[in-house]
Chains A and B, each alone.
Chain A
Amino acid sequence: MDINKHNFSVLAGINNEESSFESFDAQRNGLINVDLPSLSGATGNQATDDSYGEWSVLGYFGRFNYNFDEKYFLEVSGRYDGSSRFPDGNRFGFFPSFSAGWHLGRESFMESLDFLSSLKLRGSWGEIGNQNTSSLYPAVPGLGITDYGGTQTVNWLNEDTGTRYSTLQLPNLVSSAFTWETVQTLNLGVDAAFFKSRLSTSFDWFKRKTLDMLAPGAELPAILGASAPLENVADLESSGWELALTWNDKIGDFKYSIGATLYDYQSKITKFDNPAGLLSQYYVGRKLGEIWGYTTDGYYTIDDFEPGTLNEDPSSPNYLTGGTLKEGIPHWEGRNQNPGDIKYVDLDGDGIITDGNNTLENPGDRKIIGNSTRRYQYGFFGNFSYKNFDFSFLANGVGKRDIYLNNRVRFPYLDEFSVVYKSQLDYWTPDNQDAFFPRNYPLGGVNYGISRTTQTKYMLNGAYLRIKNLTLGYSIPETILKKNKIDKLRIYIAGENLFSFNDYPDGINTELATQGSGGIYPYLRSYSVGLNLTF
């Protein structure tokens, strides 16, 4: 609707989704004839199973847009959403949002700035609802039925049938008062283009609050025998920014565009019921990804032990063990240290390295030594063409990240099932006391485990740069093609995952969220040659 320079539009709607599924399966092993599979044509035990589930959502929404003269923009919208996952009385939530924009570049007073092609300021505030539960019926304290075909958790045998018994699982405690999580986002941004739109830029800053997150209502003593019910008790706040730059130009036959993006955010807990400050749980002020660990103070050396107490017979399997530490040298609680074990800094000064009672107030000798959040994520791209040749590249990476890996790829010989990789040969021995990796023991035992615990020395720099793609192409000149009734023919060679610059042990995929045991599928580096043909 246009009235003079006032433009309006209004939208309203309803959405209504219902999902239900049923599954049924029957299985019988021991086919008599594998070419004629049927349940009756088999001889083994029969097993059947089924499952059912339903969920529905119902939402009403409306939106109002207004702009004046394509310069001033305003949008107001709202949703009223309901979900079957929440208990009666708490099913619906209302989520409004507002946004406004100002095309500053269209103002007459900006026209004198001829290097500026366009300039727009944006701002928005809005809420959306989040059903953060994977369970279809989180409000119903159900006793799930387990059977052998399902979870294999029933460790009791029915000897009459030779199968495991079906039984019922302990129901979870549920709260009758839980409802939607609200994700509230404040976003401010500016888009600008310069030099006849050759350079376009945009910058956004955001603050996102996840309010009323579903989490265990409080950490409760274990004598409850169940986890505390999920309630809307936690708040999380993230803030960050994003910058994007692109440059397009052409110099004679040489056309190119290059661009870069840079993105960063951090999150922290702003509300959580954990008065005891247990580190095994969220606490107010906890930054997501923070890594608690010990501070490394090098190896125990022979000089740390009372003279004459260490076994000094090089032929003995107990060579350089059994010593008594000198006064004032800390040791791990409950351990007899040996030269070559990692020595930690006794932060709390009690002479013993411990994790205290694992609370904020008493974390023992640990402190925050890093953060595994991917900071300063960036990307570059470029497309270049000269006459019939074209070339492009794509790269991305992370500017800052800490990773602690305690797996077979990182440390040599964790147990009898692991090996020592070539990159791990620099480990402590009486003849190599200056080594990178600590002293190991038979079967990776004794103090090797505590020498590998999360600490500053073995923290990895998780920053990386990957060249994801390089492509070089050549298009056959059209004059040649026309004769053969071909519109376009381009041949190219491309490489994927060609280079990666990082400090990781070989074979670790830099983009995986967790690195697991190290036994993961590595990147495939691939090369391809191809042609694009258009008739």
Chain B
Amino acid sequence: MKNIYKIMAVLLLLVFSSCSESFLEKLPKDQLTVSTTFTTNANFETYAWSLYANILPGYWDFAPILREMGSDLMVNNAGTVGHELLWQRKTVPSSSGLWNNSYVNIRRANLMLDNIENSQLTDSEKDHWRGVGLFFRAYVYVELIANYGEVPWVDRALTEADEELFGPKTPRDQLAQNILNDLTEAESLISPSGNGDNTVNTDVVRALISRFGLYEGTWRKYHGLGGEATYLQASVDAGAKLIAAHPELHPNYDEVFNSESLQGVQGVLLYKAYEFGILNGRWSHYNRSSIGHRDLTKKAVDQYLCLDGQTIHTSPLFDGEQDAYDEFRNRDHRLYFNTPPPFRVDTGGRNQLTWEYDSDPKSREYIDLMATLSDDEHKTLPTINWRGLVVRTSPHFRKFNEGHGFNVTYTGYAFYKFSNKISRLQNRDSHDAPTFRMGEVFLNYAEAMYELGQFTQEVADKTINKLRARGAVAPLDLANIPNDPTRDADVAPELWEIRRERGIEFLAEGLGRVFDIKRWKKLVEYGDDEKLGRWVKNADYGNNLPIQGGASEGYVSPWGVPPGVPEHYYLEPIPSDQIVLNPELTQNSGWE
């Protein structure tokens, strides 16, 4: 029995031995903690790359381009039903990646902002990183306000015990003011040269002010909220400074979207770089496959002017729309970069990498033209599929594909703004994506100036006419604006031309066309328009194409007449899980 006592004694000794706790004290050696991260300038920079990587869009995620299918200018041609926004099929989601990811990214920015003060940074470094943090947080909130109208404002990294988690939505006035205040502060704090090439700097902050100021200002004006002048003026001020610093554009429109590198390209303020095999995009590859590409509508194509600056309805240069070759002649060159011009080549009926001219000389008109406007890495004709097989003709219809199912369209107008021939592998695009560029700033500035009643010929020359020159279109002369019979009655001719330019130059970029339509309060008005494609004689296509009204010739109509967009579709529904978790969070009206 004595042994037992001995054993017990040893046991007790060990239990209370002081070494046990330190034996169990293990700290990670390959990860940092908050206190060891936010110390030096280099560490802040390392952390900040996660903001760039997670927040800024590029050529991988399709969400920004898919959203455009709800607009008047684009149609998803791989789909099987019309867009949910236009066909009354939107429902309240039980959870939302947009909502959740936005707040993860806000936390990412807030964590950095919360830890600047106690770091080892110099005062100027502190200013810079505060500016960077405020910029990225504002970037996320701009997306949130555009989608939901009102969301809770969170400006620090919350803990699980914070009561703010269960607070209500921040009123739009306050939310918008907070965003503008942050951006104004960021503009004054951030280093004018950022932290190196292609980083967020004063110009980039101003570009976001230009975007958000116009968005919020016009939303307020057209939705009758009032207070628009502050935001429009902020947009104008930021735009004016940017235009003074960057008055000229890169001369080639297509190269802004389809260049291997945007480094040093004039007018590109920030871009997402891609490198073959290291970081890949896929928009161009998808665009050249059998799915995943989109079409322009006839409305989108019709807005492109003729070279004389006149509309297709008023220009003597316009040769008519029934023949595709006529339709494309003498048009804004950007049309040829955004949708393939008509052509036909001979491949002996096979899917192959090489081609011959078609026997009909008419078929090569735009092949010859594009050889002068572009090159074989970009937009020469014929177009090719993702791995280089020759597309034999354009327009090329999904429902009459002549034996090759790739690069097909519903409307006859493939959208190929982001398409090029650089990479011929799946998901291995290496062309860079612009995230902020002067083309947008010109558009924002012109529109904001108009909304402030200050749009003049001088402003037009600095903005719209610079953009038009890139498409070889005659300048806009305010004294002699073409009388477009398709103009909305409630939109003044000058504003119509500004909006036209935006629809041509900026489609599927920035916040996107859907948000333009929403801020102009045109969603309901445009929403019940039938989305049409090009004019066809159905007999030429085996009577396979759906024609408007079931006619034998006329405009292709993929989905028919939509039922109309309900008024409450202007704002997205708040995901229902968030309302269940926080009853203070009220649903947007109409979605209850």
Residues of chain A whose beta carbon lies under 8 Å from any beta carbon of chain B? 10, 12, 14, 16, 18, 50-58, 60, 62, 80, 82-84, 88, 91, 136-137, 140-146, 148, 153-157, 159, 162-171, 173, 217-226, 228-229, 276, 278, 280, 317, 333-335, 354-355, 357-359, 416, 441-443, 445-446
For B578, the chain A residues whose CB sits under 8 A away are 221-223
Q: Is the CB of B157 within 8 A of A225?
A: yes
Question: Which residues of chain B (154-189) have a CB below 8 Å from chain A?
Answer: 154, 157-160, 162, 164-166
A376 to chain B, nearest CB (A): 34
Pick from B26-34, B239-247, B367-375, B525-533 the stretch touching chain A.
B26-34
B569 to chain A, nearest CB (A): 12
For A446, the chain B residues whose CB sits under 8 A away are 80-81
Q: Is the CB of B577 within 8 A of A278?
A: yes
Query: Which residue of A84, A143, A280 is within 8 Å of B25 (Cβ)?
Result: A84
Q: Is the CB of B154 within 8 A of A225?
A: yes
Q: Is the CB of B103 within 8 A of A222?
A: yes
For B552, the chain A residues whose CB sits under 8 A away are none
A19 to chain B, nearest CB (A): 10
| Cα separation A53 to B10 with both chains bound (whole Å) | 32
B 369-385 binary contact with A (CB < 8 Å = 1; else 0): 00000000000000000
| Cα separation A224 to B101 with both chains bound (whole Å) | 11
Question: Which residues of chain B (387-403) have a CB below 8 Å from chain A?
Answer: 399
| Cα separation A148 to B88 with both chains bound (whole Å) | 43
Q: B560's closest neighbor in chain A, by CB?
A: A322
Q: B581's closest neighbor in chain A, by CB?
A: A221
B558 to chain A, nearest CB (A): 11
Query: Which residue of A159, A168, A359 is within 8 Å of B263 (Cβ)?
Result: A159
Q: Is the CB of A164 within 8 A of B14?
A: no
Q: Is the CB of A170 within 8 A of B576?
A: no
Could you list some 17 contacts between A and B, CB below 8 A? A12-B7, A14-B11, A53-B30, A62-B11, A82-B24, A84-B26, A141-B33, A145-B32, A154-B53, A170-B104, A171-B33, A173-B160, A225-B104, A225-B157, A278-B581, A317-B399, A334-B84
Q: Is the CB of B28 within 8 A of A136?
A: yes
For A60, the chain B residues whose CB sits under 8 A away are 11, 14-15
Q: Is the CB of A169 within 8 A of B33?
A: no
Interface assignment of B317: CB less than 8 Å from any CB of chain A: no
B 113-144 binary contact with A (CB < 8 Å = 1; else 0): 00000000000000000000000000000000
B 558-592 binary contact with A (CB < 8 Å = 1; else 0): 00000000000000000011111110010000000
Q: Is the CB of B278 within 8 A of A157?
A: yes
B138 to chain A, nearest CB (A): 16
| Cα separation A83 to B25 with both chains bound (whole Å) | 9
Instruction: List 7 other contacts, CB 8 Å, given A218-B160, A225-B106.
Output: A137-B31, A140-B31, A170-B111, A223-B103, A223-B151, A225-B103, A226-B107
Interface assignment of B265: CB less than 8 Å from any CB of chain A: no
Q: Chain A interface secondary structure, helix, strand, loop or mixed?
A: loop
Q: Is the CB of A144 within 8 A of B31?
A: yes
- With A154-B53, A220-B160 already in contact, the answer to whether A162 and B291 are too (CB < 8 A) is no
Query: Which residue of B79, B162, B279, B581 is within 8 Å of A157 (Cβ)?
Result: B279
For B580, the chain A residues whose CB sits under 8 A away are 276, 278, 357-359
Query: Which residue of B11, B24, B32 is within 8 Å of A58 (Cβ)?
Result: B24
- Specify which of A60, A144, A156, A359 lies most central, judged by the most chain B CB atoms within 10 Å of its CB: A156
Q: Is the CB of A221 within 8 A of B291?
A: no
Interface assignment of B541: CB less than 8 Å from any CB of chain A: no
Q: Is the CB of B32 within 8 A of A334?
A: no
- With A14-B14, A224-B107 already in contact, the answer to whether A170 and B24 are too (CB < 8 A) is no
For B162, the chain A residues whose CB sits under 8 A away are 224
Question: Which residues of chain B (247-279) have a CB below 8 Å from chain A?
Answer: 261, 263, 272-275, 278-279
Question: Which residues of chain B (1-54) have a CB below 8 Å from chain A?
Answer: 4, 7-8, 10-11, 14-15, 20-21, 23-34, 37, 46-50, 52-54
Query: Which residue of A54, A156, A219 is within 8 Å of B49 (Cβ)?
Result: A156
- With A154-B49, A157-B279, A164-B279 already in contact, the answer to whether A443 and B80 are too (CB < 8 A) is yes
For A164, the chain B residues whose CB sits under 8 A away are 278-279
For B81, the chain A residues whose CB sits under 8 A away are 445-446
| Cα separation A285 to B579 with both chains bound (whole Å) | 23
Query: Which residue of A156, A224, A416 is within 8 Å of B53 (Cβ)?
Result: A156
- With A163-B278, A224-B103 already in contact, the answer to whether A82 and B32 are too (CB < 8 A) is no
Query: Which residue of A12, A51, A169, A226 is within 8 Å of B50 (Cβ)?
Result: A169
Q: Is the CB of A229 within 8 A of B103?
A: no
Q: Is the CB of B104 within 8 A of A357?
A: no
- Specify which of A142, A143, A146 lies most central, judged by the most chain B CB atoms within 10 Å of its CB: A143
Interface assignment of B60: CB less than 8 Å from any CB of chain A: yes
| Cα separation A50 to B30 with both chains bound (whole Å) | 8
Q: A144's closest neighbor in chain B, by CB?
A: B31
A402 to chain B, nearest CB (A): 23
| Cα separation A137 to B28 with both chains bound (whole Å) | 7
B283 to chain A, nearest CB (A): 14
| Cα separation A53 to B29 with both chains bound (whole Å) | 7
For A220, the chain B residues whose CB sits under 8 A away are 160, 165, 581
Q: B1's closest neighbor in chain A, by CB?
A: A1
Query: Which residue of A10, A91, A442 is within 8 Å of B80 (Cβ)?
Result: A442
Interface assignment of B323: CB less than 8 Å from any CB of chain A: no
A72 to chain B, nearest CB (A): 21
Interface assignment of B78: CB less than 8 Å from any CB of chain A: yes
Q: Is the CB of A334 within 8 A of B46?
A: no
- With A334-B89, A442-B80 already in contact, the answer to whether A54 and B50 are too (CB < 8 A) is no
For B279, the chain A residues whose CB sits under 8 A away are 155-157, 164
Q: Is the CB of B79 within 8 A of A223?
A: no
For B31, the chain A residues whose CB sits under 8 A away are 137, 140, 142-145
For B10, the chain A residues whose CB sits under 8 A away are 12
Q: Is the CB of A91 within 8 A of B21?
A: yes
Pick from B92-100, B229-237, B420-428, B462-470 the stretch touching chain A.
B92-100
